[in-house]
Amino acid sequence: MAEKDVKKKTSSGAPGGGRREVRPTKQQPSRQVSIKDIARLARVSHPTVSRALQNSPLVNPATAAKIRKIAEAAGYRPSAVARGLVTRRTRTVGLVVTTVADPFASAVACGIEQAANDHGYAVFLANSNADAEHERKVVQALAERRVDGIIVTSSRVGSDYLPMLAQLNVPMVLVNDQYPGEFVHSVMIANEEGSRAATEYLIGMGHRRVAYVGDRSGYQTETERLEGYKRALAKAGIEFDAKLAVHGDGRPEGAAEAMEALLQLAEPPTAVCCYNDMTALGAMRAIRARGLRVPEDLSVTGFDDLFFAEYLEPPLTTVRQPMRRMGEMAMENLLKLMSGEDSVAQVKVGAELIVRKSTGRVGMKPGPQMRGTGGTQGLGAGRRNG
């Protein structure tokens, strides 16, 4: 027998005495257990398994319990994609914020995410970068990814969404819409009432030269807060002075410049009502740069009650927005829209004045503050010490 024939037989395990050659095999990747696997183990049809796992009343309770026990033991995990193809639901919502660096947006987002998670939804987050056109594109992209609903905070588009929604067919809720005009479904702080409460408080402390530092961007929130300031002046019989109403850009840098203009007046104000807490931060810096004191020389109020407000020196008197709760309310409203239930079209959240040490009586060092009403009722603004 030829040598090559002997080698061939021994390598193949023939009676030539050689050992069988063992070749390594590739490890098979683990496969996720499917509904069909569960059906085979339970000896039922896979539609029956699908119904049992969805707690359908069409399946006998004993059979359903048996199927669920087998599925758990086998490590079955339902596919969100497959379920979405059947139910036409993805159990996801899109959230568009100006920027994740915005403390207001972050607090609202926490409320939205908590409410979404409680109802079995995941949240996709996107930035609009405070740009109207980019905001439209982001909303369009989320809709194309088949989210079940969308929430937009501080929208730069607002009521202009109406034509788009007719095409997208995706429920949407806005939080603190910045765009002039009314959107169908929104959650808004009572801007005018909050600003009026802050201004009235300053007037009640004896201030007659009360200034306002706003946001020149022309947002709806700015218009409403300026109106609240004007109404408080009118109620107290104080004539509105256009020189005392200046505008920054909603950020500390712009506010510092606007505050500087007020300080250069022949008769500067003794108190200033700011559009938001970031504006108040810049205003207080400009006041100190002039060698003046807060509140001994100038009282300052903000709006939002961001996390840093109580840590400023002195702590900031401000109008509180229940940001996390507003996020929860927006998500609750969206859930109703997605399920076809009736929902409140426009939700107004009451504002609350939080009195701290950045405000005092005119011409006097601040003494103990009087405790206000605390809490809110309806659209009114309550007052309490922070």
Q: How far is CA 143 from CA 88, 169, 281, 321, in A?
A: 13, 9, 38, 29
Domains of the chain in sequence order: 31-78 (1.10.260.40), 90-189+325-334+340-347 (3.40.50.2300), 191-322+348-385 (3.40.50.2300)
Nearest of 203, 283, 277, 204 to residue 240 by alpha carbon? 203
Residue 208, classified by CB atoms within 10 Å of its CB into exposed (0-12), middle (13-18) or buried (19+), is middle
User: Which ranges of 236-322 does DSSP label H, i.e. alpha helix?
Assistant: 252-263, 277-289
Positive/negative CA dihedral, 40, 44, 45, 46: negative
Contact between 276 and 303 under an 8 Å Cβ cutoff? The reply is yes
Please, which residues bridge with residue 213 across strands?
246, 274
**Three-state secondary structure along 350-375?**
CCEEEECCCCCCCCCCCCCCCCCCCC
Instruction: State whether residue 142 is helix, strand or coil.
Output: helix
Sequential pLDDT tens for the chain (386 residues)? 444 444 444 444 444 445 554 454 444 445 577 788 888 888 899 788 878 877 778 889 999 899 888 888 877 766 554 554 444 567 899 999 998 888 899 999 999 999 999 999 999 999 998 888 999 999 999 988 889 999 999 888 888 888 877 777 889 999 998 887 777 789 999 999 999 999 999 999 999 999 999 999 888 899 999 999 999 999 999 999 999 999 999 899 999 999 999 999 999 999 999 999 999 999 999 999 999 999 999 999 999 999 999 999 999 999 999 999 999 999 999 999 988 877 777 899 999 999 999 999 997 654 444 333 333 333 345 566 66
pTM above 0.85, yes or no: no
**E strands in 81-185:** 92-97, 122-127, 149-153, 172-175
Residue type, 33: V
